Structure 1
Amino acid sequence: MKILVTGSAGFIAGYLIEDLLKRGHEVVGIDNYSKYGFIEKSYDKHPGYTAVKGDAKDVNLMKELIADCDQIVAVAAMIGGITYFHEYAYDLLAENERITASTFDAAIWAHKEKKLKKINVLSSSMVFESTEHYPTLEGEQLKCPPPLSTYGFQKLSCEYFAKGAWEQYKLPYTIIRPFNCVGIGEKRAKNEKEIMSGNVKLAMSHVVPDLVQKILKGQDPLHILGSGEQVRHYTYGGDLAEGIRVCIENEKSINNDFNLSTPISTTVLELAEMIWKKINGDKPFNFTSDTPFEYDVQKRVPSVEKAKNILGFEAKTDLSTTLDEVIPWIEEQIKLGNI
């Protein structure tokens, strides 16, 4: 199968493309390198991979690339850590709507005129930002109040793009919602605002790399946002890539939506203490709470039964194993000045 992946230089796409190539798929990736600049990937010279520098908002280019593809995975988006939700509230909505519309325009054309079979839309757990039902089932996004953040609202909009494209043009789709992807490969974004967290300057605003680098830099007490009681489901990037690939390959995913996540709930405080012990051993764990950001959702607990029952997918990598891969990678990136 030949698959077009937008936002191919991004964090999640890196895991996905590697997985698709290992499974024998041919992949075309498009990215404008606006977030990190050019990043060399391990698979850049793979015979099954073609990298294109370009903008997903360019409909003509998108049509050219999608013309002989079987499926597309719409990953490209302006995305960042929690500071992004505040610093780029308008841009997250406007820019991502332009990317989404362009991608769907090309996909609708390719489905009608060429051989495209389906669009796979990477949504977000943030569509459930306003829910009070846990574990949160697929479909809850249609019942709960809309997301409060512009980012969450735009991700919900992506899902309505899929709904509309099917209703009007019969373009098949799969909606994919990752929950708190954790792994290696994410670096300092070029336009990420630097903030101070205690005595450490951060430019990521993703909880795992931020906590790791603060502890590696000797921060004591450790500064965390809010009480630390925020609940998350930290999902390994390799597991998430497998789940997305299964959505691409399995016909049961057509015109369906899936939460892709580990089933294990972890509080930020539990995460922080786990990282602390891996780096500092038996040194007493001390922390202090900083004022949280407005859109720091307090609880995310997805239902994962649908993906398991329909697709046979389960995220099986535990958080401790994931951290054993992530911590030394971040340590090396700090030395290189990339984080």
Structure 2
Amino acid sequence: MKILVTGSAGFIGFHVARTLLNKGHQVVGIDNLNQYYDIELKFARLNELGISKDNASRFNVSCTGELYGEQFKFIRMGIEERENLPKIFETELFDKVCHLAAQAGVRYSIENPDVYIDSNVVGYANLLECCRHHSIQHLIYASSSSVYGLNKKIPFQEDDQVDHPISLYAATKKSNELMAHTYSHLYKIPTTGLRFFTVYGPWGRPDMALFLFTEAIVQGRPIKVFNKGKMERDFTHIDDITAGIISVIEKKLPDQKDEKGLYKIYNIGNSRSVKLLDFIVEIERNLGKVALKEMLPMQPGDVQKTWANIDRLMQDYNYLPTTNIADGVKSFTDWYCNYYNITKTKAKA
């Protein structure tokens, strides 16, 4: 198939694009390469896909690399570009779209709301219009566990009420689900939203806890532990997330006999909740260093616990996460030390 992967220089988008390419699909990747975090990390991901920094830096210019040749094209652009995005659809004739581009981050949305509206709402509407006018077989898009807000029912299930988001980021992700429903209803576009639960692993984002903790511990700085460590997360390794996304892209859609069959929402997580302090212990063990901890109160927009019920995704797409926390944290710290040329202290038993 020919698949558009938005956010292809991002954490999840990079892994998905690479896996699709290795499985023989044609991929067109787009990413605006903004500077929300270290842009050099984004260039490094693209380099792993064979796209040089010089080529990737150019705006609205299709480029290919030596690694995958014409099988992979990359274009630096934003999805909110209302004139340019339709041209890509007209030229490339995609079979399916995997939409992973978004302005990420819960706390950043409190300080910089405009970029979330531009990318996550305006850009998403632009993408939906392109799918509508170009006969896309299936739109798969990233939602988030943050839509559950202050939901007290554990584990989180897709039928739970998600009408009370507590961050603008969460509100934009909820809006994406509502907009997808509208387009599925009006234009019969199959749409599948995946609510990601705390994705971590190699090539991860520098603003996320595992990266921040590892960096601080290596440098001998205190780590910021919010809610005094009384947090629990359904940490999900990138390999499991990627496998789940690929299954949704490749496999036949589930029952579509009615409107509800065109519009699907799934949790995609590890289906267990891990205490934040236990997560930190794994990082310490792998780095061979004890973290200095700065215990802080809960941050605005945060929730105390997440935990995914993944029964639906297991039933429809045979999704089964297999990476435990010990192996997952090790995979990240190994990558981190290799990427930044750091010698690990012997891991603690």
User: TM-score, length-normalised on structure 1?
Assistant: 0.85
Q: CA deviation at 1:120?
A: 1.0
Partner residue, 2:328: 322
Partner residue, 1:196: none
Q: Deviations over 1:289-323 (max 9, x none)?
A: 12331112111111011111121011111111111
Q: CA deviation at 1:83?
A: 3.2
The residue matched to 2:207 in structure 1 has which SS? coil
Give the one of 98, 102, 108 matched to 1:77: 102
Q: Deviations over 1:108-162 (max 9, x none)?
A: 1112xxxx2111111111111131111111122xx24420211101100000111
Matched residues in 2 for 1:320 and 1:244: separation? 23
Q: CA deviation at 1:89?
A: 2.9
Matched residues in 1 for 2:31 and 2:286: separation? 36
The answer to whether 1:274 aligns with 2:277 is: no
The residue matched to 1:121 in structure 2 has which SS? strand
Partner residue, 1:296: 302
Matched residues in 1 for 2:210 and 2:30: separation? 27
Q: Paired residues, what number?
A: 310
The answer to whether 1:98 aligns with 2:118 is: no
Kept after mapping to 1: 8 A contact 2:107/2:301: no
**Root-mean-square deviation (CA), in Å?**
2.1
How does 1:160-171 map onto structure 2 within 5 Å? 160-171=178-189
The answer to whether 1:88 aligns with 2:94 is: no
In the alignment, structure 2 segments of 5+ residues that lack a partner are: 51-66, 255-261, 343-349
Matched residues in 2 for 1:172 and 1:118: separation? 5
| AA aligned opposite 1:246 | S
Give the one of 52, 63, 69 matched to 2:86: 63
Kept after mapping to 2: 8 A contact 1:20/1:27: yes
Matched residues in 2 for 1:24 and 1:129: separation? 39
The answer to whether 1:118 aligns with 2:138 is: yes
Kept after mapping to 2: 8 A contact 1:260/1:315: no
| AA aligned opposite 1:69 | F
| AA aligned opposite 2:219 | K
Q: CA deviation at 1:73?
A: 1.1
The answer to whether 1:148 aligns with 2:159 is: no
User: TM-score, length-normalised on structure 2?
Assistant: 0.83
The residue matched to 1:326 in structure 2 has which SS? helix
Q: CA deviation at 1:335?
A: 5.4
The answer to whether 1:158 aligns with 2:181 is: no
Q: CA deviation at 1:258?
A: 1.1
Matched residues in 2 for 1:240 and 1:164: separation? 26
| AA aligned opposite 1:211 | F
Partner residue, 1:46: 68
Q: CA deviation at 1:43?
A: 2.0
Matched residues in 2 for 1:74 and 1:13: separation? 8
How does 1:100-249 map onto structure 2 within 5 Å? 100-111=124-135, 116-140=136-160, 143-186=161-204, 204-219=206-221, 222-249=223-250
Distance 1:219 1:59, change over 3 A: closer
Q: Deviations over 1:256-304 (max 9, x none)?
A: 21111112211111111121122226x6x76341233111211111101
Q: CA deviation at 1:240?
A: 0.6
Matched residues in 2 for 1:95 and 1:62: separation? 13
Kept after mapping to 1: 8 A contact 2:272/2:308: no
| AA aligned opposite 1:46 | Y
In the alignment, structure 1 segments of 5+ residues that lack a partner are: 188-203
Kept after mapping to 2: 8 A contact 1:216/1:331: no
Give the one of 282, 289, 293 matched to 1:287: 293
Kept after mapping to 2: 8 A contact 1:119/1:173: yes
Distance 1:18 1:213, change over 3 A: same
| AA aligned opposite 2:238 | G
Q: CA deviation at 1:34?
A: 1.4
Q: CA deviation at 1:62?
A: 2.1
Kept after mapping to 2: 8 A contact 1:120/1:176: yes
Q: CA deviation at 1:334?
A: 4.7
Matched residues in 2 for 1:287 and 1:64: separation? 50
Matched residues in 2 for 1:186 and 1:150: separation? 22
Q: CA deviation at 1:61?
A: 2.6
Partner residue, 2:57: none
